[in-house]
Amino acid sequence: MATLAYSIRRSERARHARILVDGAGIEVVVPRSFPLRAVEPFVEEKRPWIERTLRRIRDSEAVFPRPLARAGGVVPYLGDSLTLRVDRERGRARAHVARRGHELRARLAHDAPLVEALEAWYRRCARGEVERRLDAACSRAGVSYARLQIRSQRTRWASCSSTGAMSFNWRLLLAPAEILDYVVEHEVAHLSVHDHSPRFWQLLASRYPAWREREAWLRRHGHALRF
């Protein structure tokens, strides 16, 4: 039987051990008091689920592959395909990434990591893309939010706090535009209904009838939204 490779992360907030399986690999999250000797038996107990999930990820990537963060690779941007052009320049102090039509040009120092420069560019773009959609959705719904943050959570696409603070994952820009549209509508609905009760889903369906299809897409392909 093949050995499963995984990382271990201790968490102050974790109350129970859990396993995350996505495009980044397998991560075991455990409370501070969880004995390390108990991790391997825990992983073996969950092996059938882990292997099913890994198979599902491989099948999904045949349809929606992860973007290639390398010179000549293709990265997605809200449904568009951008070809990466990478120029390495000795003596350059700061990375510069800019879009020109269907090309994304990155000018970097000789040894600068490309992925970090790309993520920084997507983060900057995400604020404008999300803010525009969020303002429009709030206007249609007659509600308002307190503030907007762009983050890079591993397991959450967006959140809405009880005070109206909004948080969105920049990696949503790697998905088709309708996925970002849906996630924005989902969080705006939480400004009126904070839980996932039947009342919430009824409200969301009245504003975004295709929500089930978008949720299904994220469940199937969300792991691929990373470099």
DSSP 73: -
Residue 68 lies in a domain: no
Where residue 147 falls among pLDDT bands split at 50, 70, 90? very high
Query: What Å distances lie between residue 74 and 79, 86, 106, 206, CA to CA?
Result: 12, 12, 13, 36
Q: Are residues 189 and 90 in the same domain?
A: yes
pTM of the model: 0.79
The phi and psi torsions of 67 (rounded to 5 degrees) equal: -70, 150
Would you say 60 and 225 are in contact if contact means Cβ atoms under 8 Å apart?
Answer: no
**Which pLDDT score, from 0 to 100, does residue 192 have?**
97
Residues 6+ apart with CB under 8 A from 152: 119, 123, 169, 170, 171
For residues 115 and 167, membership in a common domain is answered with yes
Closest CA to 190 of 138, 130, 129, 122: 138
Range of the domain at 137: 74-224
CB 227 within 8 A of CB 115: yes
From CA 95, how far away is CA 107, in angstroms rounded?
A: 6
**Is 191 found in the same domain as 109?**
yes
In contact, 86 and 112? CB cutoff 8 Å: no
Q: Report which of 207, 200, 188 is spatially closest to residue 135, judged by C-alpha positions.
A: 188
Q: Which residue has the higher pLDDT, 77 or 112?
A: 77
d(CA 116, CA 118): 5
Over the stretch 54-91, which tens digit does the pLDDT of each residue have?
888 888 777 777 788 899 999 999 999 999 999 998 88
Q: Are residues 138 and 45 in the same domain?
A: no
Instruction: Please give the pLDDT value at position 61.
Output: 77
Asked if residue 219 is part of any domain, the answer here is yes
Same domain, 112 and 26: no
Query: Nearest CA to 21 among 45, 64, 67, 55?
Result: 55
Q: Number of structural domains, the chain?
A: 2
